[in-house]
Amino acid sequence: MTAIFLSLLAAGLYGVGDFWGGLASRRTNILRILPTILFTGSLTIFALIPFLGASFTPDSIRAGVIAGVFGTAGFVLVYSALAIGPMGVASAIIAVLAAGIPYGLDLIRGTHLSALGVIGSILAFVSILLVCRSTEEATHPVTRKLIVLSVIAGFAVAGFFLGLALAPQDSGLAPITVTRGIQLTMVIIFWATRRKKFTGDKPDHKMGVGSGIADALAAAAFIFATHSGSLAVVAIVTNLYPAITLLFAHFVIHEKLERHQIVGMIGACASVGLLTLA
């Protein structure tokens, strides 16, 4: 039950963070706003360490490095995809891969799910796909570039989740602290060497700050969720976040919300219920 709750918390925070980050990147080059997102996220993690702890062992540092490399690529690819197409579509493609890869690997490793767990998992994937379907009237249409970016981003995010899940249970926030340090360093170096080539309007740093805080809190919730339950279930529930992104996109920037997407969100809620009972 604790793992489900923390996974839901991570899903909600990731959904909010992706919405703000994606919206900010529609107004300027993603690499102009990413330093703000990562710096704010790093400060958030450091502020949480006195309360949640951090054990910097070789294993936890190794997990943080793996997550950091994949996470850096994931940040750029995710927000680039969110910037050029319907947020619900990009988020859903990314989420299916980010959930499916850890899910499959966890089952291969021997994790057993009950019949309810299997049904809930299938319903979750179907729900994400329903949320994914877009309308032809979308302000930002679905393009080949969007699909390619989203697929690559999905693999990168899966690597990020798997990296964090490798950390020992007593590592606390050490892995994500290392991850944020790597991400921030890599992005700042790249930004500093190529900043003159970036175009776009002035970055909306308020959205960047909101995205950074939400994303950091989500990562912390995910880490503790993986230490409380099956990675397969945690990955699925966490990656239901497109429903949150879609709701924000609908109410804030008026992206169209269709019947099948509403059905998908209802299905997502039902899948969480089944996974809780499994």
Q: Is residue 173 within 8 Å of residue 223, measured between CB atoms?
A: yes
Whole-number pLDDT of residue 189: 82
For the chain, the DSSP string reads -HHHHHHHHHHHHHHHHHHHHHHHHHHB-HHHHHHHHHHHHHHHHHHHHHHH-B---HHHHHHHHHHHHHHHHHHHHHHHHHHHS-HHHHHHHHHHHHHHHHHHHHHHTT----HHHHHHHHHHHHHHHHHH---TT-SS---HHHHHHHHHHHHHHHHHHHHHHTS-TT-BTHHHHHHHHHHHHHHHHHHHHHGGG--BSPP-HHHHHHHHHHHHHHHHHHHHHHTTS-HHHHHHHHTTTHHHHHHHHHHHH-----HHHHHHHHHHHHHHHHHHH-
Whole-number pLDDT of residue 198: 59
d(CA 216, CA 240) in angstroms, rounded, equals 17
- Single-letter amino acid code for the residue at 96: V
Whole-number pLDDT of residue 137: 44
Tens of pLDDT along the chain (278 residues) come to 788 899 999 999 998 988 888 788 777 766 778 888 889 999 999 999 999 999 999 999 999 999 999 988 887 787 778 777 776 677 778 878 888 898 888 888 888 778 888 888 888 888 887 876 655 445 556 778 888 888 899 999 999 999 999 899 999 999 999 999 998 888 788 777 766 665 556 777 888 899 999 999 999 999 999 988 888 889 889 888 878 888 888 888 777 777 888 888 888 888 888 887 76
Instruction: Record the tokens describing residue 112, joined without a space.
Output: 């057993």
Helix (H) or strand (E) holding 12: helix 2-27
Distances (CA, A) of 156 to 55, 95, 150, 152, 247: 25, 11, 10, 6, 24
φ, ψ at 135 (rounded to 5°): -95, 150
Whole-number pLDDT of residue 10: 94
Whole-number pLDDT of residue 136: 47
d(CA 33, CA 41) in angstroms, rounded, equals 13
Instruction: Record the tokens describing residue 4, joined without a space.
Output: 């489900």
d(CA 225, CA 56) in angstroms, rounded, equals 19
Whole-number pLDDT of residue 81: 80
> Which of 3, 10, 46 minimizes the C-alpha distance to 180?
46
